[in-house]
Amino acid sequence: MRHTWLIPIMVAVACTLICGTGCQPATQPGTGDRPAPGAVTAPAKKTATQADVNAVPGAGETPKGKTDEAQFAADLKLPKIRFEKVLHDYGDVGPGSKNKCNFPFKNIGDGPLTIKVETTCGCTIANIPKASYEPGEAGDIEVEYTASTQPSTDRKAIIVHTNDPNNKRVDLVIKARVEQKVAVDPSRLKFLLKDDEPISQQITLTSLDGQPFSIKKFYSTADCITAEIDPSVEATKFVLNAKVDSRKLKDNVQGRIIISLTHPQCPDVSIFYDALPRFTVNPQTIIIMDAEPQKPVERKMWVLNNYNETFELDSIASEGIPVKLLGKSAIRGGYELTVEITPPAAEGKSTFSGAFTLNTKDGDKLPVSVRVFYGKTN
Protein backbone atom coordinates (compact mmCIF):
# COMPACT_ATOMS: atom_id res chain seq x y z
CA MET A 1 0.00 0.00 0.00
CA ARG A 2 3.02 2.21 0.23
CA HIS A 3 3.06 2.87 -3.49
CA THR A 4 -0.58 3.94 -3.72
CA TRP A 5 0.33 7.58 -3.87
CA LEU A 6 2.11 7.03 -7.23
CA ILE A 7 -1.14 6.40 -9.15
CA PRO A 8 -2.51 10.00 -9.11
CA ILE A 9 0.85 11.34 -10.15
CA MET A 10 1.07 9.01 -13.16
CA VAL A 11 -2.47 9.91 -14.30
CA ALA A 12 -1.69 13.65 -14.17
CA VAL A 13 1.47 13.17 -16.26
CA ALA A 14 -0.40 11.16 -18.91
CA CYS A 15 -3.09 13.85 -19.29
CA THR A 16 -0.45 16.52 -19.63
CA LEU A 17 1.30 14.60 -22.45
CA ILE A 18 -2.00 13.99 -24.33
CA CYS A 19 -3.05 17.65 -24.24
CA GLY A 20 0.32 18.83 -25.38
CA THR A 21 0.34 16.56 -28.38
CA GLY A 22 -3.14 17.71 -29.62
CA CYS A 23 -2.20 21.37 -29.56
CA GLN A 24 0.92 21.07 -31.73
CA PRO A 25 0.85 23.00 -35.08
CA ALA A 26 1.02 21.05 -38.45
CA THR A 27 4.48 22.41 -39.13
CA GLN A 28 7.52 22.53 -37.10
CA PRO A 29 8.83 25.86 -35.94
CA GLY A 30 10.98 27.54 -38.58
CA THR A 31 9.66 25.47 -41.57
CA GLY A 32 7.24 28.19 -43.00
CA ASP A 33 4.57 26.76 -45.42
CA ARG A 34 6.29 23.41 -45.71
CA PRO A 35 3.72 20.63 -45.02
CA ALA A 36 4.11 18.33 -42.18
CA PRO A 37 5.66 14.96 -42.87
CA GLY A 38 3.17 12.59 -44.47
CA ALA A 39 0.56 15.36 -45.34
CA VAL A 40 -1.16 15.28 -48.87
CA THR A 41 -1.29 18.71 -50.58
CA ALA A 42 -2.83 20.08 -53.93
CA PRO A 43 -0.53 21.73 -56.51
CA ALA A 44 -0.15 25.44 -55.93
CA LYS A 45 -2.01 27.79 -58.40
CA LYS A 46 0.13 30.01 -60.62
CA THR A 47 -0.97 33.26 -62.37
CA ALA A 48 -0.06 33.22 -66.12
CA THR A 49 1.90 36.18 -67.43
CA GLN A 50 1.82 37.53 -71.02
CA ALA A 51 5.26 36.02 -71.51
CA ASP A 52 3.85 32.63 -70.55
CA VAL A 53 0.99 33.03 -73.09
CA ASN A 54 3.32 34.09 -75.90
CA ALA A 55 5.48 31.13 -75.18
CA VAL A 56 2.64 28.72 -76.12
CA PRO A 57 2.51 27.90 -79.90
CA GLY A 58 -0.66 29.41 -81.55
CA ALA A 59 -1.63 31.37 -78.46
CA GLY A 60 -3.94 34.37 -79.15
CA GLU A 61 -5.23 32.90 -82.44
CA THR A 62 -8.93 32.00 -83.00
CA PRO A 63 -9.26 28.24 -83.51
CA LYS A 64 -10.37 27.21 -87.01
CA GLY A 65 -14.15 26.54 -87.36
CA LYS A 66 -15.02 28.87 -84.49
CA THR A 67 -14.74 32.30 -86.19
CA ASP A 68 -16.79 35.00 -84.50
CA GLU A 69 -19.97 35.86 -86.50
CA ALA A 70 -19.30 39.59 -86.50
CA GLN A 71 -15.74 39.02 -87.71
CA PHE A 72 -17.03 36.56 -90.33
CA ALA A 73 -19.55 39.10 -91.66
CA ALA A 74 -16.92 41.82 -91.76
CA ASP A 75 -14.54 39.53 -93.65
CA LEU A 76 -17.27 38.74 -96.24
CA LYS A 77 -18.19 42.44 -96.62
CA LEU A 78 -21.95 41.86 -96.82
CA PRO A 79 -24.42 44.56 -97.97
CA LYS A 80 -27.26 45.75 -95.79
CA ILE A 81 -30.25 47.76 -97.04
CA ARG A 82 -32.18 50.20 -94.88
CA PHE A 83 -35.39 51.94 -96.06
CA GLU A 84 -36.56 55.22 -94.57
CA LYS A 85 -40.14 53.94 -94.96
CA VAL A 86 -41.91 50.90 -96.37
CA LEU A 87 -45.44 52.41 -96.56
CA HIS A 88 -46.68 55.50 -98.39
CA ASP A 89 -50.24 56.78 -97.96
CA TYR A 90 -51.38 59.11 -100.73
CA GLY A 91 -54.54 59.98 -98.83
CA ASP A 92 -57.48 61.13 -100.98
CA VAL A 93 -56.87 61.03 -104.74
CA GLY A 94 -59.10 61.48 -107.75
CA PRO A 95 -60.24 58.68 -110.09
CA GLY A 96 -57.71 58.05 -112.84
CA SER A 97 -55.20 60.50 -111.35
CA LYS A 98 -51.44 59.88 -111.54
CA ASN A 99 -49.64 60.08 -108.20
CA LYS A 100 -45.90 59.87 -107.46
CA CYS A 101 -43.79 59.06 -104.42
CA ASN A 102 -40.24 57.93 -103.51
CA PHE A 103 -38.92 55.20 -101.22
CA PRO A 104 -35.39 56.31 -100.13
CA PHE A 105 -32.89 53.63 -99.08
CA LYS A 106 -29.21 53.31 -98.17
CA ASN A 107 -26.61 50.56 -98.20
CA ILE A 108 -25.31 50.57 -94.62
CA GLY A 109 -23.38 47.33 -95.07
CA ASP A 110 -19.75 46.63 -96.01
CA GLY A 111 -20.30 45.16 -99.51
CA PRO A 112 -21.92 46.24 -102.80
CA LEU A 113 -25.73 46.10 -102.81
CA THR A 114 -27.63 44.85 -105.86
CA ILE A 115 -31.33 45.61 -106.14
CA LYS A 116 -34.24 45.15 -108.55
CA VAL A 117 -37.95 45.94 -108.25
CA GLU A 118 -41.23 44.59 -109.58
CA THR A 119 -44.89 45.55 -109.18
CA THR A 120 -48.02 43.46 -108.76
CA CYS A 121 -50.36 45.63 -110.83
CA GLY A 122 -50.18 47.45 -114.15
CA CYS A 123 -51.48 50.61 -112.51
CA THR A 124 -48.22 50.94 -110.54
CA ILE A 125 -44.82 51.66 -112.09
CA ALA A 126 -41.59 51.43 -110.06
CA ASN A 127 -38.24 52.68 -111.37
CA ILE A 128 -34.75 52.63 -109.90
CA PRO A 129 -31.88 54.59 -111.53
CA LYS A 130 -29.34 51.77 -111.26
CA ALA A 131 -28.99 48.23 -109.96
CA SER A 132 -25.85 48.43 -107.75
CA TYR A 133 -24.93 50.60 -104.74
CA GLU A 134 -21.61 50.78 -102.90
CA PRO A 135 -21.32 50.77 -99.09
CA GLY A 136 -22.68 54.04 -97.70
CA GLU A 137 -24.40 54.95 -100.99
CA ALA A 138 -28.09 56.01 -100.98
CA GLY A 139 -30.77 55.73 -103.64
CA ASP A 140 -34.49 56.13 -104.37
CA ILE A 141 -37.19 53.88 -105.78
CA GLU A 142 -39.52 56.13 -107.79
CA VAL A 143 -43.17 55.04 -107.90
CA GLU A 144 -46.02 56.30 -110.09
CA TYR A 145 -49.49 55.05 -109.24
CA THR A 146 -52.56 55.58 -111.45
CA ALA A 147 -55.72 55.53 -109.37
CA SER A 148 -58.69 53.40 -110.34
CA THR A 149 -61.47 55.08 -112.28
CA GLN A 150 -64.11 54.46 -109.64
CA PRO A 151 -64.25 55.47 -105.96
CA SER A 152 -62.52 52.77 -103.92
CA THR A 153 -59.73 52.03 -101.44
CA ASP A 154 -56.55 50.98 -103.23
CA ARG A 155 -53.59 49.11 -101.76
CA LYS A 156 -50.70 48.07 -104.01
CA ALA A 157 -47.32 46.38 -103.42
CA ILE A 158 -43.84 46.96 -104.84
CA ILE A 159 -41.56 43.96 -104.38
CA VAL A 160 -37.84 44.67 -103.87
CA HIS A 161 -35.24 41.92 -104.40
CA THR A 162 -31.71 42.43 -102.98
CA ASN A 163 -28.53 40.51 -102.19
CA ASP A 164 -28.75 41.54 -98.53
CA PRO A 165 -28.85 38.09 -96.84
CA ASN A 166 -31.21 39.38 -94.15
CA ASN A 167 -33.49 41.29 -96.55
CA LYS A 168 -33.60 39.29 -99.75
CA ARG A 169 -37.19 40.49 -100.31
CA VAL A 170 -38.74 43.70 -99.04
CA ASP A 171 -42.42 44.55 -99.70
CA LEU A 172 -43.14 48.24 -100.08
CA VAL A 173 -46.79 49.30 -99.89
CA ILE A 174 -48.74 52.26 -101.27
CA LYS A 175 -52.35 52.98 -100.44
CA ALA A 176 -54.94 55.60 -101.36
CA ARG A 177 -58.60 56.47 -101.05
CA VAL A 178 -60.04 57.15 -104.51
CA GLU A 179 -62.75 59.80 -104.26
CA GLN A 180 -64.64 61.67 -106.96
CA LYS A 181 -63.22 65.17 -107.46
CA VAL A 182 -65.54 66.29 -110.26
CA ALA A 183 -69.21 65.30 -110.22
CA VAL A 184 -71.02 64.63 -113.49
CA ASP A 185 -74.80 64.79 -113.86
CA PRO A 186 -76.43 62.69 -115.20
CA SER A 187 -74.08 59.79 -114.43
CA ARG A 188 -75.64 57.67 -117.20
CA LEU A 189 -77.66 58.52 -120.29
CA LYS A 190 -80.58 56.66 -121.88
CA PHE A 191 -82.04 57.54 -125.26
CA LEU A 192 -85.06 56.60 -127.36
CA LEU A 193 -84.64 56.22 -131.10
CA LYS A 194 -88.13 56.86 -132.41
CA ASP A 195 -87.07 59.13 -135.22
CA ASP A 196 -84.02 60.69 -136.86
CA GLU A 197 -84.35 64.10 -135.27
CA PRO A 198 -81.34 65.36 -133.22
CA ILE A 199 -81.63 64.95 -129.47
CA SER A 200 -80.29 67.48 -126.96
CA GLN A 201 -78.91 66.50 -123.55
CA GLN A 202 -77.56 68.74 -120.79
CA ILE A 203 -74.47 67.55 -118.93
CA THR A 204 -73.28 69.34 -115.77
CA LEU A 205 -69.74 69.11 -114.37
CA THR A 206 -69.02 70.41 -110.85
CA SER A 207 -65.72 70.56 -108.92
CA LEU A 208 -66.21 68.92 -105.52
CA ASP A 209 -63.01 70.24 -103.97
CA GLY A 210 -63.30 73.83 -105.22
CA GLN A 211 -60.41 73.36 -107.67
CA PRO A 212 -61.13 75.21 -110.96
CA PHE A 213 -60.53 73.33 -114.21
CA SER A 214 -60.95 73.56 -117.98
CA ILE A 215 -62.46 71.13 -120.47
CA LYS A 216 -59.79 69.99 -122.93
CA LYS A 217 -61.77 67.57 -125.07
CA PHE A 218 -65.23 66.02 -125.48
CA TYR A 219 -65.64 62.82 -127.47
CA SER A 220 -67.95 59.78 -127.62
CA THR A 221 -68.25 56.37 -129.25
CA ALA A 222 -68.41 56.85 -133.05
CA ASP A 223 -69.01 60.59 -132.42
CA CYS A 224 -72.66 59.85 -131.70
CA ILE A 225 -72.75 62.65 -129.10
CA THR A 226 -70.95 65.98 -129.45
CA ALA A 227 -70.71 69.26 -127.50
CA GLU A 228 -69.10 72.66 -128.05
CA ILE A 229 -66.32 73.48 -125.58
CA ASP A 230 -63.81 76.29 -125.02
CA PRO A 231 -60.52 74.94 -123.53
CA SER A 232 -59.47 78.48 -122.52
CA VAL A 233 -62.33 78.84 -120.03
CA GLU A 234 -61.62 77.81 -116.44
CA ALA A 235 -64.34 77.38 -113.83
CA THR A 236 -65.60 75.16 -111.03
CA LYS A 237 -68.84 74.34 -112.87
CA PHE A 238 -69.80 73.76 -116.51
CA VAL A 239 -73.16 73.07 -118.17
CA LEU A 240 -72.75 71.47 -121.59
CA ASN A 241 -75.45 71.19 -124.23
CA ALA A 242 -74.71 67.84 -125.87
CA LYS A 243 -76.14 66.95 -129.28
CA VAL A 244 -77.06 63.36 -130.10
CA ASP A 245 -76.96 62.11 -133.71
CA SER A 246 -79.84 59.64 -133.88
CA ARG A 247 -78.67 58.09 -137.13
CA LYS A 248 -75.25 57.24 -135.71
CA LEU A 249 -76.81 56.15 -132.44
CA LYS A 250 -78.82 53.46 -134.26
CA ASP A 251 -75.58 51.66 -135.09
CA ASN A 252 -74.02 52.30 -131.67
CA VAL A 253 -76.80 51.81 -129.16
CA GLN A 254 -74.28 51.40 -126.33
CA GLY A 255 -71.19 53.48 -125.73
CA ARG A 256 -69.41 56.06 -123.61
CA ILE A 257 -68.71 59.78 -123.46
CA ILE A 258 -65.25 60.83 -122.21
CA ILE A 259 -64.61 64.44 -121.16
CA SER A 260 -60.94 65.37 -120.62
CA LEU A 261 -60.23 67.95 -117.89
CA THR A 262 -57.31 69.94 -116.50
CA HIS A 263 -58.26 69.22 -112.89
CA PRO A 264 -55.05 67.97 -111.14
CA GLN A 265 -56.88 65.09 -109.44
CA CYS A 266 -59.42 64.31 -112.15
CA PRO A 267 -57.97 63.98 -115.65
CA ASP A 268 -61.31 62.95 -117.16
CA VAL A 269 -64.87 61.87 -116.44
CA SER A 270 -66.89 59.21 -118.21
CA ILE A 271 -70.60 58.86 -118.92
CA PHE A 272 -71.97 55.58 -120.23
CA TYR A 273 -75.01 55.67 -122.44
CA ASP A 274 -77.39 53.25 -124.06
CA ALA A 275 -80.29 53.67 -126.42
CA LEU A 276 -83.41 51.60 -126.80
CA PRO A 277 -83.16 50.42 -130.40
CA ARG A 278 -86.12 50.59 -132.69
CA PHE A 279 -86.13 46.81 -133.17
CA THR A 280 -85.24 43.81 -131.07
CA VAL A 281 -84.34 40.54 -132.81
CA ASN A 282 -84.44 37.35 -130.74
CA PRO A 283 -82.19 35.45 -130.98
CA GLN A 284 -79.51 37.66 -132.43
CA THR A 285 -77.29 34.58 -132.89
CA ILE A 286 -78.63 31.21 -134.11
CA ILE A 287 -76.56 28.21 -133.01
CA ILE A 288 -76.84 24.84 -134.78
CA MET A 289 -75.29 21.87 -132.98
CA ASP A 290 -74.41 18.48 -134.54
CA ALA A 291 -75.09 19.91 -137.97
CA GLU A 292 -74.94 17.85 -141.14
CA PRO A 293 -73.61 19.53 -144.28
CA GLN A 294 -76.28 20.44 -146.83
CA LYS A 295 -79.08 19.31 -144.48
CA PRO A 296 -81.55 22.21 -143.87
CA VAL A 297 -82.47 23.14 -140.29
CA GLU A 298 -85.55 25.14 -139.23
CA ARG A 299 -85.46 27.73 -136.46
CA LYS A 300 -87.99 30.08 -134.86
CA MET A 301 -87.18 33.74 -134.25
CA TRP A 302 -88.98 36.96 -133.33
CA VAL A 303 -88.69 40.56 -134.51
CA LEU A 304 -90.28 43.26 -132.31
CA ASN A 305 -90.64 47.04 -132.63
CA ASN A 306 -89.83 48.64 -129.25
CA TYR A 307 -91.96 51.73 -129.99
CA ASN A 308 -95.13 49.88 -131.02
CA GLU A 309 -94.73 51.08 -134.60
CA THR A 310 -96.14 49.02 -137.46
CA PHE A 311 -93.60 47.73 -139.96
CA GLU A 312 -93.20 45.19 -142.75
CA LEU A 313 -90.39 42.73 -143.31
CA ASP A 314 -89.30 42.93 -146.91
CA SER A 315 -86.58 40.30 -147.47
CA ILE A 316 -83.71 38.21 -146.15
CA ALA A 317 -80.15 38.63 -147.43
CA SER A 318 -77.69 35.91 -146.44
CA GLU A 319 -73.90 36.07 -146.22
CA GLY A 320 -72.06 32.82 -146.86
CA ILE A 321 -74.92 30.52 -145.79
CA PRO A 322 -78.26 29.76 -147.51
CA VAL A 323 -81.24 31.10 -145.50
CA LYS A 324 -84.94 31.07 -146.47
CA LEU A 325 -87.99 32.64 -144.84
CA LEU A 326 -90.50 29.78 -144.52
CA GLY A 327 -93.16 31.49 -142.43
CA LYS A 328 -94.19 34.83 -140.91
CA SER A 329 -97.03 35.49 -138.49
CA ALA A 330 -97.97 38.79 -136.87
CA ILE A 331 -97.79 39.02 -133.08
CA ARG A 332 -98.11 41.98 -130.71
CA GLY A 333 -95.37 44.46 -131.59
CA GLY A 334 -93.87 42.45 -134.47
CA TYR A 335 -93.56 39.04 -136.10
CA GLU A 336 -92.75 35.42 -135.39
CA LEU A 337 -90.59 33.97 -138.15
CA THR A 338 -89.66 30.47 -139.29
CA VAL A 339 -86.37 30.38 -141.15
CA GLU A 340 -84.57 27.56 -142.91
CA ILE A 341 -80.78 27.46 -142.67
CA THR A 342 -78.65 25.05 -144.73
CA PRO A 343 -75.15 24.39 -143.30
CA PRO A 344 -72.55 24.44 -146.09
CA ALA A 345 -69.98 21.70 -146.73
CA ALA A 346 -67.67 21.18 -143.76
CA GLU A 347 -64.50 21.00 -145.87
CA GLY A 348 -62.60 19.43 -143.00
CA LYS A 349 -63.69 22.08 -140.48
CA SER A 350 -65.62 21.43 -137.29
CA THR A 351 -67.36 24.85 -137.18
CA PHE A 352 -68.70 27.50 -139.51
CA SER A 353 -69.72 31.13 -138.97
CA GLY A 354 -72.14 33.04 -141.19
CA ALA A 355 -74.80 35.74 -141.06
CA PHE A 356 -77.96 37.03 -142.66
CA THR A 357 -79.93 40.28 -142.57
CA LEU A 358 -83.64 40.91 -142.11
CA ASN A 359 -84.70 43.96 -144.14
CA THR A 360 -87.77 46.09 -143.49
CA LYS A 361 -89.64 48.09 -146.14
CA ASP A 362 -88.55 51.28 -144.37
CA GLY A 363 -84.90 50.38 -145.03
CA ASP A 364 -83.96 49.06 -141.60
CA LYS A 365 -81.38 46.26 -141.69
CA LEU A 366 -81.47 43.82 -138.77
CA PRO A 367 -78.36 41.58 -138.62
CA VAL A 368 -78.45 37.98 -137.35
CA SER A 369 -75.34 35.79 -136.92
CA VAL A 370 -75.18 32.00 -137.35
CA ARG A 371 -72.79 29.52 -135.69
CA VAL A 372 -72.65 25.96 -137.00
CA PHE A 373 -71.00 23.06 -135.12
CA TYR A 374 -70.72 19.93 -137.25
CA GLY A 375 -71.31 16.46 -135.87
CA LYS A 376 -68.36 14.16 -135.09
CA THR A 377 -69.05 11.94 -138.12
CA ASN A 378 -68.41 14.83 -140.54
295 and 355 assigned to the same domain: yes
Cα–Cα distance between 99 and 210 in angstroms, integer?
Answer: 20
What was the pLDDT predicted at 143?
A: 97
Average pLDDT for the chain = 84
pLDDT tier for residue 12 given thresholds of 50, 70 and 90:
low
The enclosing domain of 186 has a CATH number of 2.60.40.10
Q: What is the pLDDT of residues 174-217, one digit of tens each?
A: 999 999 999 999 999 998 876 666 788 999 999 999 999 999 99
Q: What angle do CA 51, 55, 56 make, to 5 degrees?
A: 130
Q: What is the pLDDT at residue 60?
A: 44
In a domain? residue 75? no
Does residue 67 form part of some domain?
A: no
Determine, yes or no, domain membership for 26. Answer: no
* Statement to judge: residues 257 and 172 lie in one domain: no
When comparing pLDDT for 52 and 115, which is higher? 115
pLDDT score recorded for residue 218: 97
Single residue among 254, 276, 298 that ends a domain in this structure: 276
In this structure, the answer to whether residues 261 and 285 fall within a common structural domain is no
In a domain, 4, yes or no: no
| pLDDT for the residue numbered 266 | 92
Considering the domain architecture, whether residues 268 and 296 belong to the same structural domain is answered as no
Judge whether 150 lies within some domain.
yes
φ, ψ for residue 14 (rounded to 5)? -65, -40
Residues 316 and 340 in one domain: yes
* Whether residue 238 sits in one domain with residue 207: yes
Which domain-ending residue is among 233, 252, 276?
A: 276
Let me know: does 344 contact 294? Beta carbons within 8 Å: yes
* Per-residue pLDDT tens digits for 289-299: 999 999 999 99
**Is the domain of 302 the same as that of 325?**
yes
At 13-51, the pLDDT tens digits run 444 444 444 444 444 444 444 444 444 444 444 444 444
pLDDT in tens, 196-207: 667 889 999 999
- The answer to whether residues 272 and 284 belong to one domain is no
Q: Would residue 144 count as lying in a domain?
A: yes
Question: Is residue 193 located within the same domain as residue 133?
Answer: no
- Contact yes or no for 360/375 (Cβ under 8 A): no
pLDDT band at 159 (very low <50, low <70, confident <90, very high): very high
Q: What is the pLDDT of residues 79-135, one digit of tens each?
A: 999 999 999 999 999 988 999 999 999 999 999 999 999 998 889 999 999 999 999
pLDDT average, residue stretch 321-343: 94
Residue 242: CB partners within 8 Å, gap ≥ 6? 200, 201, 202, 203, 218, 225, 226, 227, 257
* Coil vs helix vs strand at 352: strand
Q: What is the pLDDT of residues 218-255, one digit of tens each?
A: 999 999 999 999 999 999 999 999 999 888 888 888 99
pLDDT tens for each residue of 300-327? 999 999 888 899 998 999 888 999 999 9
The whole-number pLDDT of residue 212 equals 96
Ranges of beta strands (E only) in 128-187 are 132-133, 138-146, 152-162, 169-178, 182-185
Question: Secondary structure of the chain: what % helix, strand, coil (to 5)?
Answer: 10, 50, 40
The answer to pTM > 0.85 is no
The domain boundary, picked from 257, 276, 295, lies at 276
User: For residue 114, what pLDDT is reported?
Assistant: 96
264 located within any domain: yes
Q: Does any domain span residue 63?
A: no
Domain of residue 317: give its range. Answer: 279-374
Count of the separate structural domains present in the chain: 3
Q: Does 68 score more than 80 pLDDT?
A: no
- Same domain for 207 and 125: no
**Pair 205, 122 in one domain:** no
Whether 195 and 176 have beta carbons less than 8 Å apart is answered as no
* pLDDT for the residue 120: 87
